[in-house]
Amino acid sequence: MRQSRLFGKTTKTIPRDIKAISHQLLYQGGFIRESAAGRYYFLPLGIKVRDKIIKIVEEEMNKAGAIKLITPVLHPIELWKNTQRTESVGFELMKVKDREGNDFVLGGTAEEMIIDLVKKFNISYKDLPFNIYQFSQKFRDELRPRGGLLRVREFLMKDAYSFNLDEKDFKGEYQKMWKVYTKIFKRLGLETIVVESDNGYIGGDYCHEFVVESEVGESRFFISEDGKYAAHEDVAKFKKERKNLDEEEKRLEEVEAKRGKTMEDGVKLHRLPLWQQIKDVMFIDDKERFILAVIRGDFNVNETKLRNLIGVNNLRYADDEEIRKLGSEPGFISPVGINKKVIIVADDSLRTIKNAYGGANKKNRDLLNINIDRDYKPHFEGDIALAEEGFLSEQGSRLREGRGIEVGNIFQLGYYYSKKMNATFTDKDGKEKFYYMGCYGIGIDRTLATIIEKHHDKKGMVWPAPVAPYDVHLIEIRNQRDKTRGVAERVYNILQSLNIEVLYDDRDESAGVKFADSDLIGIPIRMVVSEKTIEKDSVEVKRRDEDKSRLIKIDEIEREMDKAIKD
């Protein structure tokens, strides 16, 4: 490709609102441009990289026995209603009508479409298991797209779906995809941490994210120092130390408590440890029910765990007026004697303490010696606590907080969708049985941005060879036009004859501009033809990730490229 004919130009200026390094470099290098918020044009350099990522993913999926297909972008809304996902997804569905008034959604994920397709065939146990996948545009009306390709409203995803006989059959596929994903990301130049995570709107019982550590990432996770446990903050578990369980339960007592509304105010007034205080957080769910989360004072409530435990999609904090209408008082809420319409949800940490203290549902009044079961009975009980750095994993190793970019995920769906959509196969006994399912996603565009976040320097991108837009950046430095042009054309032809992808900078620009653009674009090997090199019938060769260059004879280019490819 002659750079003079390349569509898309480099630029030195960056809009002020572009913060992420990957976004800055993709913009400066002429790889992408924004259309509307969260939607991007991929320019020739960008599409070259994207296609190479797709090729690697496709190769590894095919090796694993998965089969590629494609589904329509518009999904009949009835399919999403079948699974009750029209209102439960974690993003705003984008809806359209056709000329006949039929309702569709723009696909955010494709579980319903894939199952609808599979149901069109008469499948028996002999056909199972199978794994089908696609590369397709996804649409999610994100509230705040950010970070260039890191969080967008329209993006390319590889999504795969496995159909299995039962849980045992599925677990083998799950582990296979785990290994395949690890290999894919390694080929792309990314080291991933696999963390337990929340299924959210996808459904099922468990899933794992493949996360690349990065400060710009939105995935907050915890990993134990021994490396044996890693989990997203939404689901991370930790060891809750048993405190004063050897104490006898004391008589419940109401006392005057002229204090502020904070937990620290309670500690100062009663001169008792924070862990012995009860923390009460009042929420309102999507059915307008009051939910009181009760937890040990030294812990915080994890809203994701809370939603999952009680089976709701959304929660919001109750305001002071709403709390007072219940007959309680902000800052002095208590599960003891609370309005009966309130659903009490207790964290299991309350089983590690006795004789707790906290509010009495009245201003400036507290209760001492509160004990679960005796003084209040929760409607739900379980783990609703938020992990924090320094806590101990359940195995006893200290947790470290990390932040990263989620580039892929694998989900156990079980019977979640097959039962909702009545998707069955014929078993060996002749009976109809529901598929046991899994799904597996890779965000292609986000992965592209993540590669840059991990592979760049102060001059620009440093593409790993397998995904670089070109193998070689050939630069002609013109002093004596006829001589350099002729040799540069000769080198260009040699590289093309070797099936080497080459970007040939034949522009009428200074050496400084060409070198700066070459560093910015980040192609792995740079070859320079100049007056100095042609005197020795040579080219100057430099790797993007090295500081020093060297001269090689033009007739050694083939051997040099063979060596570079092997490396």
Q: Which two tokens stand for residue 98?
A: 């056709």
Q: Could you report the per-residue pLDDT of 425-482, keeping only the tens digit for each?
A: 999 999 999 999 999 999 999 999 999 999 999 999 999 999 999 999 999 998 755 7
Q: Is the pLDDT of residue 141 over 70?
A: yes
Spatial CB neighbours of 168, under 8 Å, sequence gap ≥ 6:
none
Phi-psi region of 474 (alpha: psi -120 to 50; beta: other; left: phi over 0): beta
Give me the pLDDT at residue 89, please. Answer: 61
Closest CA to 130 of 425, 404, 406: 425
**How do strand 67-68 and strand 130-139 relate by DSSP bridges?**
parallel
Q: Which two tokens stand for residue 381?
A: 């009980």
Give me the pLDDT at residue 201, please. Answer: 67
State the DSSP H helix or E strand holding residue 34, giving kind and residue range, or none if neither.
Answer: strand 32-34
Q: Could you report the per-residue pLDDT of 150-202, keeping only the tens digit for each?
A: 999 999 999 999 999 999 999 999 999 999 999 999 999 999 999 999 987 67
Indicate the pLDDT class of residue 4, thresholds 50, 70 and 90: very high
Q: Which two tokens stand for residue 3?
A: 């750079």
Give me the pLDDT at residue 80, please. Answer: 92
Q: Is the pLDDT of residue 223 over 60?
A: yes
**How do strand 154-164 and strand 193-197 relate by DSSP bridges?**
unpaired
Q: Which two tokens stand for residue 224?
A: 């134990």
Instruction: State the Cα–Cα distance between residues 78 and 94, nearest whole angstrom.
Output: 14
Instruction: State the Cα–Cα distance between residues 264 and 270, nearest whole angstrom.
Output: 10
Q: Could you report the per-residue pLDDT of 365-423, keeping only the tens digit for each?
A: 999 999 999 999 999 999 999 999 999 999 999 999 999 999 999 999 999 999 999 99
Peptide bond into 129 cis (omega under 30): yes
Closest CA to 213 of 183, 193, 198: 193
Q: Is the pLDDT of residue 74 over 90?
A: yes
**In Å, how far are 240, 278, 345, 423 from 355, measured between CA atoms?**
17, 10, 19, 52
**In Å, how far are 124, 456, 470, 494 from 429, measured between CA atoms?**
11, 58, 56, 64
Q: Is the pLDDT of residue 91 over 80?
A: no
Q: Is the pLDDT of residue 566 over 70?
A: no
Instruction: State the Cα–Cα distance between residues 297 and 275, nearest whole angstrom.
Output: 5
Q: What percent of the chain has pLDDT over 90?
A: 90
Q: Could you report the per-residue pLDDT of 332-361, keeping only the tens digit for each?
A: 999 999 999 999 999 999 999 999 999 999
Peptide bond into 466 cis (omega under 30): no
Instruction: State the Cα–Cα distance between residues 195 and 220, nearest whole angstrom.
Output: 10
**In whole angstroms, how large is the CA radius of gyration of the chain?**
30
CB 237 within 8 A of CB 383: yes
Give me the pLDDT at residue 143, please. Answer: 81
Q: Is the pLDDT of residue 88 over 70?
A: no
> Which residue is associated with the tokens 């005197």?
535
Residue 100: exposure state from Cβ atoms within 10 A (0-12, 13-18, ≥19): exposed
Q: Is the pLDDT of residue 90 over 60?
A: no
Spatial CB neighbours of 138, under 8 Å, sequence gap ≥ 6:
107, 108, 109, 154, 155, 156, 157, 159
Q: Which of 271-285, 307-321, 472-486 has the lowest mean pLDDT?
A: 472-486
Indicate the pLDDT class of residue 250, thresholds 50, 70 and 90: very high
Q: Could you report the per-residue pLDDT of 13-67, keeping only the tens digit for each?
A: 999 999 999 999 999 999 999 999 999 999 999 999 999 999 999 999 999 999 9
**How do strand 290-296 and strand 343-347 relate by DSSP bridges?**
parallel
Q: What is the overall mean pLDDT for the chain?
A: 95
Q: Which two tokens stand for residue 147?
A: 């970070």
Closest CA to 141 of 217, 38, 219: 38
* pTM for the model: 0.93
Give me the pLDDT at residue 481, please. Answer: 58
The backbone torsions φ and ψ at residue 557, rounded to the nearest 5 degrees and listed phi first, read -60, -40
End-to-end CA distance of the chain: 24
